[in-house]
């Protein structure tokens, strides 16, 4: 069954009402940050490649107000953050801002700990419509919303949005102990309505890609209801294979490697598995750039073809799909009007649709 996505105004009304009930006063700050879906460019980020995500209408919203204390009190009523909970901790003394329970609060604490100015006491309510653990970046949305809230609270704004994204990433690395890439924070900070974002993970340059002619098309995000995450060891195996391959070729990363180098890799004793991993990364970078060009040209048929190729490579070469995801993708591809479908995130698929066919 399709899930109704609440509008930002609906989420705001809910958050403001909860704040009044919890704290007996009106909030005077309201900020939000979006989740994201990666259209193409999978397992390329840690290989200094390209990714092409877009922001979603699902958001994490924070409303709040200064409380004149040295502590903050935060209420989360979001399903995305597991349970309704309330937490209070010291903010005036940074040495006391440390990871702990509940886990969702660590993302908030990390942003407070690394904020480049003193953070005063505050009361806040968090409401999120970004599904947790879905690969739609609920954690990045929480981090970016938190940082934006503190900016509004203190009047100290980050001059370079890339620095803001990097601080949020640092919060996730050091407080949530999650070695995430940079894509999620970048799209949540920099994403624009009606655009995808081409991110070069080597130099962190970004290009807003307008989705011209999008009115007749849609991207459908579907849940396989079978969350499929690589174990830490399986992820490490793939990452290490990529790093080892680059090292064998005397390159800093697979970004510098071409398909012509595969023969050299074979001579260096690369396994068939390593060659498959490298082949995916090289071709996925090419597909991401080709998809960018197709978006600019309004060629959504080409975008769909590239999405199909991406999924097939993730299934066969990178071996990160699942039976449920393959079933979801293959079923979607059989429907008239579907241009392409691929896995994205943990248990989700994204499908490009020509809405004129429905």
DSSP string, 162-200: HHHHHHHHHHHHHHS-----SHHHHHHHH--TTEEEEEE
Query: Which residues are designated catalytic?
Result: 184
From CA 223, how far away is CA 324, in angstroms rounded?
10
From CA 276, how far away is CA 238, in angstroms rounded?
10
pLDDT at 100: 94
pLDDT at 229: 65
pLDDT at 259: 96
- Give every CB contact of residue 339 below 8 A, 6+ residues apart in sequence: 217, 300, 301, 303, 304, 305, 307, 352, 353, 354
Cβ atoms of 130 and 136 within 8 Å: the answer is: yes
Residues of the chain with CATH 3.30.70.890: 214-357
| Lookup: tokens for 118 | 């003193």
**Beta strand 122-128 with 71-76: parallel, antiparallel or unpaired?**
parallel
What pLDDT tens digit does each residue of the chain (358 aa) get? 566 788 999 999 999 999 999 999 999 999 999 999 999 999 999 999 999 999 999 999 999 999 999 999 999 986 554 556 899 999 999 999 999 999 999 999 999 999 999 999 999 999 999 988 777 899 999 999 999 999 999 999 999 999 999 999 999 999 999 888 899 999 999 999 999 999 999 999 999 999 877 888 899 998 887 766 666 788 889 999 999 999 999 999 999 999 999 999 999 999 999 999 999 999 999 999 999 999 999 999 999 999 999 999 999 999 999 899 999 999 999 999 999 999 987 667 888 888 776 5
From CA 76, how far away is CA 65, in angstroms rounded?
15
Q: What Rg, from alpha-carbon coordinates, does the chain have?
A: 21
DSSP 100-111: -SSTHHHHHHHH
Cβ atoms of 37 and 56 within 8 Å: the answer is: yes
Element (H, E) at 302: helix 300-316
CATH fold for domain 8-210 = Ribosomal Protein S5; domain 2 (3.30.230)
pLDDT at 354: 81
Residues of the chain with CATH 3.30.230.10: 8-210
Instruction: Kindly report the CATH number that applies to the domain delimited by 214-357.
Output: 3.30.70.890
pLDDT at 355: 73
Q: What are phi and psi of 325, to 5 degrees?
A: -65, -40
From CA 329, how far away is CA 325, in angstroms rounded?
6
DSSP 129: -
């Amino acid at each position: 069954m399709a899930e109704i996505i609440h509008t930002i105004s609906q989420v705001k009304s809910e958050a403001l009402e909860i704040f009044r009930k919890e704290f007996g006063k009106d909030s005077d700050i309201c900020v939000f940050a979006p989740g994201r879906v990666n259209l193409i460019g999978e397992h390329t980020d840690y290989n200094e490649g390209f990714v092409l995500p877009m922001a979603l209408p699902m958001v994490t919203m924070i409303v709040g107000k200064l409380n004149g204390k040295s502590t903050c009190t935060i209420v989360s009523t979001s399903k995305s953050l597991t349970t309704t909970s309330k937490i209070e901790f010291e903010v005036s003394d940074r040495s006391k801002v440390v990871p702990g329970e509940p886990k969702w609060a660590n993302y908030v604490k990390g942003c407070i700990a690394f904020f480049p100015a003193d953070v005063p006491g505050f009361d806040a309510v968090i409401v999120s419509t970004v599904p947790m653990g879905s690969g739609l970046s609920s954690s990045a949305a929480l981090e970016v919303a938190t940082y934006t809230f503190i900016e509004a609270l203190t009047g100290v704004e980050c001059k370079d949005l890339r620095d803001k994204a990097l601080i949020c990433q640092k919060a996730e690395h050091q407080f949530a102990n999650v070695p995430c890439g940079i894509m999620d924070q970048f799209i949540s900070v920099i994403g624009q309505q009606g655009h995808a974002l081409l991110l070069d993970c080597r130099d962190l340059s970004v290009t807003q890609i307008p989705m011209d002619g999008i009115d007749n098309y849609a991207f459908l995000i579907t849940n396989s209801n079978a969350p499929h995450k690589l174990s830490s060891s399986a992820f490490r195996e793939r990452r290490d294979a990529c790093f080892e391959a680059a090292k064998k070729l005397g390159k800093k990363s697979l970004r510098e490697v071409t398909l012509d180098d595969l023969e050299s890799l074979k001579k260096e004793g690369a396994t068939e598995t390593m060659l498959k991993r490298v082949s995916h990364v090289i071709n996925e970078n090419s597909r991401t750039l080709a998809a960018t060009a197709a978006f600019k040209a309004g060629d959504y048929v080409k975008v769909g073809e590239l999405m199909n190729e991406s999924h097939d490579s993730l299934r066969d070469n990178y071996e990160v799909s699942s039976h449920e995801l393959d079933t979801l993708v293959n079923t979607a591809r059989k429907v008239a009007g579907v241009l392409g479908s691929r896995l994205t995130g943990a248990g989700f698929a994204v499908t490009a649709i020509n809405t004129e066919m429905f």
